[in-house]
């Protein structure tokens, strides 16, 4: 058991540090290449921080552990919209353009719902998997198009700050990003191995481990990024990080895992309902007053605690 715990802790640490550095490289490249903050948050950082979920879920599915893969996706989506967003808001209230929040929020809710419907019956068919993958490509196209529209209309501007210092070479960030991606793969594999051993030793189901331990672990990059963005008063990054991550989880990660794996035995219907409900709640709280304040963040964090104690039973 001690060795398994060491694997889990080591995997989580490596996964978090590597993914965080990978996202930093992606964000710097985006600034250097003139992309808007909205697009950085939703597409680059949001989807970038979903790499741990992608790697863990795909590896698990390929090894016949589809319950762990699906549990990780559902749990990560819930953690992103409750723990990550809530903790970020408690540190600093988040405000943004209401039309942007509604637009991207509706897209995220549609993606989460599509995944929930596909996984409702205990298996995601190959056709449904391909439809989810097409959905993530379409979502990325929409995010890019919306970003260009916002820039053209003057709604948002390209940020110029110390994230990409003058003289920073893009080629250096590309190399660092590739190395960080390799470290992320190793961290994901260590985490997955340790989680399997812990589940076996404690007699816990793969679904439980996926919904709790692995889901929280793979959401740490989102949490770290969200808190850092809140402290920098980067509202677009806070919202975009969460929305983009859940988009990629629900469409890209679920689609890839379904193609790699097969059926799952855990009944995820209650957690799926909770996932859709927390997505709706986060959207309502954000749209109310065009901002999220600290007490609303506390509600989201409390919802995550409720999910761990009740939703996964």
CB atoms within 10 A of CB 120: 13
Please say if the pLDDT value at position 313 is more than 70. Answer: no
Which residues pair with residue 291 across a beta bridge? 95
The pLDDT of residue 153 is 63
DSSP letters for 201-237: HHT--HHHHIIIIIHHHHTHHHHHHHHHHHHTT-HHH
CB atoms within 10 A of CB 5: 13
Looking at per-residue pLDDT, the higher value among 217 and 85 belongs to 85
Residue the block writes with tokens 């953690």 = 79
Confidence of residue 280 (pLDDT cuts 50, 70, 90): confident
Looking at per-residue pLDDT, the higher value among 158 and 203 belongs to 203
Mind listing the pLDDT tens digit for each residue in 246-272?
999 999 999 999 998 878 888 888 889
Query: Hey, what's the torsion of the CAs at 271, 272, 276, 279, to 10 degrees?
Result: 60
Q: How much of the chain exceeds pLDDT 90, in percent?
A: 13
Q: By the 8 A CB rule, do 235 and 30 touch? A: no
Q: Of 1.20.20.10, 1.20.1420.30, 3.40.50.280, 1.10.40.50, which CATH number belongs to 2-311?
A: 1.20.1420.30
The pLDDT of residue 156 is 57
Arithmetic mean of pLDDT, 201-217: 72
The pLDDT of residue 227 is 76
Provide the whole-model pTM: 0.80
The pLDDT of residue 182 is 80
Q: Taking the chain, what is the end-to-end CA distance rounded to the nearest angstrom? A: 24
Which residues pair with residue 95 across a beta bridge? 291
Residues with Cβ within 8 Å of residue 145, at least 6 apart in sequence: none
Looking at per-residue pLDDT, the higher value among 77 and 161 belongs to 77
Looking at per-residue pLDDT, the higher value among 124 and 44 belongs to 124
Residues with Cβ within 8 Å of residue 104, at least 6 apart in sequence: 42, 143, 146, 239, 240, 243
The pLDDT of residue 288 is 66
Mind listing the pLDDT tens digit for each residue in 120-176?
988 888 999 999 999 999 998 988 888 777 666 665 555 555 555 555 677 787 888
For residue 18, which phi and psi values (nearest 5 degrees)? Answer: -65, -45
Length of the chain: 313
Residue 149 CA to residue 281 CA, distance in Å, equals 28
Q: What are the structural domain ranges in the chain? A: 2-311
The pLDDT of residue 134 is 95
The pLDDT of residue 96 is 61
Which residues pair with residue 94 across a beta bridge? 292
Best mean pLDDT range from 27-36, 65-74, 167-176: 65-74
Average predicted confidence (pLDDT) for the chain? 79
The pLDDT of residue 129 is 92
Please say if the pLDDT value at position 44 is more than 70. Answer: yes
Please say if the pLDDT value at position 76 is more than 60. Answer: yes
Please say if the pLDDT value at position 287 is more than 70. Answer: no
């Amino acid at each position: 058991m001690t060795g398994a715990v060491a694997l889990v802790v080591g995997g989580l640490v490596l996964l978090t540090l590597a993914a965080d550095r990978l996202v930093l490289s992606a964000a710097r490249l985006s600034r250097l290449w003139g992309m808007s903050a909205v697009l950085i948050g939703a597409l680059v950082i949001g989807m970038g921080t979903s790499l741990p979920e992608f790697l863990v879920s795909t590896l698990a599915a390929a090894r016949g552990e589809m319950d762990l893969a699906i549990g990780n996706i559902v749990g990560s989506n819930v953690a992103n919209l409750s723990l990550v967003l809530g903790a970020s808001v408690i540190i600093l209230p988040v405000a943004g353009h209401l039309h942007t929040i509604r637009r991207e929020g509706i897209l995220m809710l549609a993606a989460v719902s599509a995944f929930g419907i596909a996984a409702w019956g205990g298996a995601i068919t190959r056709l449904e998997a391909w439809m989810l993958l097409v959905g993530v490509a379409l979502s990325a196209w929409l995010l890019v198009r919306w970003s260009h529209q916002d820039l053209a209309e003057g709604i948002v501007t390209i940020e110029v700050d110390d994230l990409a210092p003058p003289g920073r070479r893009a080629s250096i960030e590309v190399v660092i990003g590739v190395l960080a991606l390799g470290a992320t793969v190793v961290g994901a594999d260590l985490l997955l191995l340790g989680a399997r051993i812990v589940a076996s030793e404690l007699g816990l189901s793969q679904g439980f481990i996926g919904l709790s331990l692995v889901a929280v672990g793979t959401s740490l990059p989102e949490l770290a990024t969200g808190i850092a963005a809140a402290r920098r008063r980067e509202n677009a990054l806070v919202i975009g990080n969460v929305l983009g991550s859940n988009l990629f989880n629900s469409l890209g990660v679920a689609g890839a895992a379904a193609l790699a794996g097969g059926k799952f035995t855990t009944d995820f219907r209650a957690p799926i309902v909770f996932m859709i409900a927390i997505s709706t709640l986060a959207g309502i709280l954000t749209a109310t007053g065009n901002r999220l304040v600290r007490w609303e963040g506390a509600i989201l964090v409390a919802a995550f605690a409720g999910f761990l104690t009740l939703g996964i039973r």
